[in-house]
A and B are shown apart, each in its own frame.
Chain A
Amino acid sequence: MKEFLIGNQIIVKAALSAGAEMMFGYPITPTTEIMSEWAKVSGKKENDKIKFLQAEDEMAAGFGMIGAVLGGKKAFTATSGPGTILMQDPLAMAEAMRLPTVSFIMQRGGPSTGTVIYSQQELVLICHGGNGEGMRIVYAPATLQELYDLGIKAFNAAWQFRFPTFILGDGYLSKMQGEAEIWDPQDKGLELTPATAYLGDPKNPDLIGKLQPAGSFIVKNNWVNLRNCFNLEEEIFQVNNEIKKAFDAVAKKITEHEAYQCETAEKIIFAYGIVAAAVKQALQEGEIKNVGLFRPITLNPFSTETARKIARKAKKIYVLESSLGQFASLVRDNLYGLTVPIYEHGKPGMGFAPAEIEKMLK
């Protein structure tokens, strides 16, 4: 059924449709409505399985989410800006232990307190924050509909593949009001991956051995002991390599992108999220010819093969983002070795209007 909602409300609907039962959060603009809307749902008597905690800070929110996930519940959090920074403490633990946390990150102006609505300056923090190797699944919706669709997908991906999973949006998407089809997974025959407990009951102890890196667990009968602290360099070398191997193995199943008008284009624009939506609108409604859009839907893992195939044929590449190079670094890294000139245009804190994009391309 189509509903007219703001992005933050859509996130709540997606989480509920995906079978999420718990939200842990801390108020921060522009994500605060996600919490207040969830609190309205969880507060209703008939929803006693749906739980909510406004924690004392983002670290408590993230670690509370981890506790719930360990206990076998689909749990999520939402934050932005300075909250995203604090969230790296729990996210690093989730990364080390391959815990299926889901986090909605709606980027705002940085650095520091910055501004409260819009930017694209948390890409590095989300794709590669913490003190690990960035073994995280990151989806970047460009529209309100994608916010809903990918919101459900995030929970399935997290629990199926067991990596901390993210929806990387921004404040405009959070606050934008528009139409979205709030579909029921059951109607579409979409199976929701079930959550399973690591600690407590009911648990499948054999599953722990298949998921957790060597040395991080002890399974004896129905008792499970878990850690993320090791003694020897050799141990942590093995842990990192194991996690990477597992991540690379699922990367092909996860990577998604949109390639719009790229087949015969001479110029390719790389953009993600709402900037990509503006680019697409410029290409659809404007008068520019021979320009295509490559839009990663998963920022991590990145659709490297397809991106290179498309970029190789182009005469010029543009990278547009609301940051001074966070996305461009990712693009350059993935296109390394190609000789196509890359023109970066970054505007931290500011969006791109279709007319402006058209002007830039002429």
Chain B
Amino acid sequence: MNKSPYPQCWKPETKPPRYCPGCGHLMALRSLGQAIDRLKIADQTIFGVDIGCSLLAWDFFDIDTIQTHHGRTIPVMLGLKMAQGKKVCIAYLGDGGGYAIGAQHLVNSSLRDDPITVILINNANYAMTGGQQAPTTLSDQITETTPYGKMTASLKGPELVRNINPRAFVGRGLAIQIEKTENLIQRAIQHQQEKNGFSFVEILAPCPTNWRLPPLEMKNFMQKMQDNFPIGDF
């Protein structure tokens, strides 16, 4: 029986983790870890991380892991899936890797219905590099590169993927809802295993370090995120 408070597939040697206190990644990685434990697939999974805060998860799991170049995790996981068809291949990205520099790979991978699972952490900014705008940055949001507020629209990723691929498993969750998000991730993985098709889960995540908001305003901003990016199955 697992006596540790951590998911069994988390690598204990690299804990405590390097993420900022209150970071949405830690919540998402718990959901992912619990899903992997529940499905008993730690030895059947290959995990790919992008550049940005997702990179900090390169040594997070007792699971085969590869850290790739920025925006390129999806094609690497596709190549791995083609070589190791029986493995569950998961690409773990941020909003930059998925929606900006790697957007063409997300679009084309969903179009091909590649049998991989993409988990994308949406915290409405590029956190690792200090809080620059992301495609998901909200209107009026102040960031390092929108010091007077962003003027343009925010990208809705799951909606985009659904429009490209009617067959894929697509969902959006809330990082703080650990059990619900775990269920979303589990169903996404099962879609890869059973339907051999594309699955995509976006997770709305807080970024206290770069949002620079006091706690009550954090809560309001998370609500604003949910209003702009509706959660649920697509």
Residues on A lying within 8 angstroms of B by beta carbon are 22, 24, 51, 53, 55-57, 59-61, 63-73, 75, 89-90, 92-93, 197, 199-201, 218, 220-229
Cα(A227)–Cα(B68), bound, Å: 7
Cα(A221)–Cα(B12), bound, Å: 14
Residue from the set B64, B72, B87, B108 with the largest chain A CB neighbour count within 10 Å: B64
From B11, B64, B83, B87, A68 is in contact (CB under 8 Å) with: B83
Whether the Cβ atoms of A56 and B108 lie closer than 8 Å is yes
Bitwise interface map of B from 123 to 135 toward A, beta carbon under 8 Å scored 1, else 0: 0000000000000
Q: Which residues of A contact B65 (CB under 8 A)?
A: 199, 223-226
Cα(A11)–Cα(B165), bound, Å: 35
From B51, B69, B79, B104, A70 is in contact (CB under 8 Å) with: B79
Q: At the interface, yes or no: B164 with Cβ under 8 Å from chain A?
A: no
Whether the Cβ atoms of B83 and A70 lie closer than 8 Å is yes
Bitwise interface map of B from 3 to 19 toward A, beta carbon under 8 Å scored 1, else 0: 00000000101000000
In chain A, what residue has the closest Cβ to B77? A67
Q: At the interface, yes or no: B84 with Cβ under 8 Å from chain A?
A: yes
Residue from the set B11, B63, B105, B108 with the largest chain A CB neighbour count within 10 Å: B105
A69 CB to closest chain B CB, in angstroms?
8
Q: At the interface, yes or no: B155 with Cβ under 8 Å from chain A?
A: no
Q: Which residues of B contact A68 (CB under 8 A)?
A: 79-80, 82-83
A57 CB to closest chain B CB, in angstroms?
7
Say whether chain A's binding surface is mostly helix, strand, loop, or mixed.
mixed
Whether the Cβ atoms of B76 and A67 lie closer than 8 Å is yes
Q: Which residues of B contact A92 (CB under 8 A)?
A: 69
Which residues B70-115 have CB closer than 8 A to chain A?
Answer: 72, 74-84, 87, 104-105, 107-108
In chain B, what residue has the closest Cβ to A74? B83
Comparing B29-37, B54-62, B138-146, the segment that makes contact with chain A is B54-62
Count residues on chain B whose CB falls below 8 Å from chain A CBs. Answer: 34
From A64, A93, A199, A228, B64 is in contact (CB under 8 Å) with: A199
Whether the Cβ atoms of A225 and B82 lie closer than 8 Å is no
Whether the Cβ atoms of B79 and A65 lie closer than 8 Å is yes
Cα(A299)–Cα(B13), bound, Å: 44
Whether the Cβ atoms of B69 and A72 lie closer than 8 Å is no
B227 CB to closest chain A CB, in angstroms?
33
B74 CB to closest chain A CB, in angstroms?
8
Cα(A223)–Cα(B74), bound, Å: 21
Q: Which residues of A contact B233 (CB under 8 A)?
A: none
Cα(A60)–Cα(B72), bound, Å: 7
Q: Which residues of B contact A22 (CB under 8 A)?
A: 79, 82-83
Q: At the interface, yes or no: B66 with Cβ under 8 Å from chain A?
A: yes
Identify 16 residue pairs between A and B in the complex whose beta-carbon atoms are under 8 Å apart, listed by A's number.
Answer: A51-B82, A56-B107, A56-B108, A60-B74, A68-B80, A69-B83, A70-B76, A71-B84, A201-B84, A201-B87, A220-B62, A223-B61, A225-B58, A225-B61, A225-B65, A229-B51
Whether the Cβ atoms of B79 and A63 lie closer than 8 Å is yes
Q: Which residues of B contact A221 (CB under 8 A)?
A: 62
Q: Which residues of A contact B82 (CB under 8 A)?
A: 22, 51, 53, 64, 67-68, 71, 73
Q: At the interface, yes or no: B43 with Cβ under 8 Å from chain A?
A: yes
Q: At the interface, yes or no: B67 with Cβ under 8 Å from chain A?
A: yes
B162 CB to closest chain A CB, in angstroms?
19
Cα(A75)–Cα(B82), bound, Å: 11
Q: At the interface, yes or no: B46 with Cβ under 8 Å from chain A?
A: yes
Cα(A10)–Cα(B74), bound, Å: 31
Q: A64-B75, A70-B83, A229-B55 are in contact. List 13 more A-B contacts (CB 8 A).
A: A56-B104, A63-B75, A67-B79, A69-B79, A71-B79, A89-B69, A93-B69, A199-B64, A199-B66, A218-B59, A223-B61, A224-B64, A227-B55
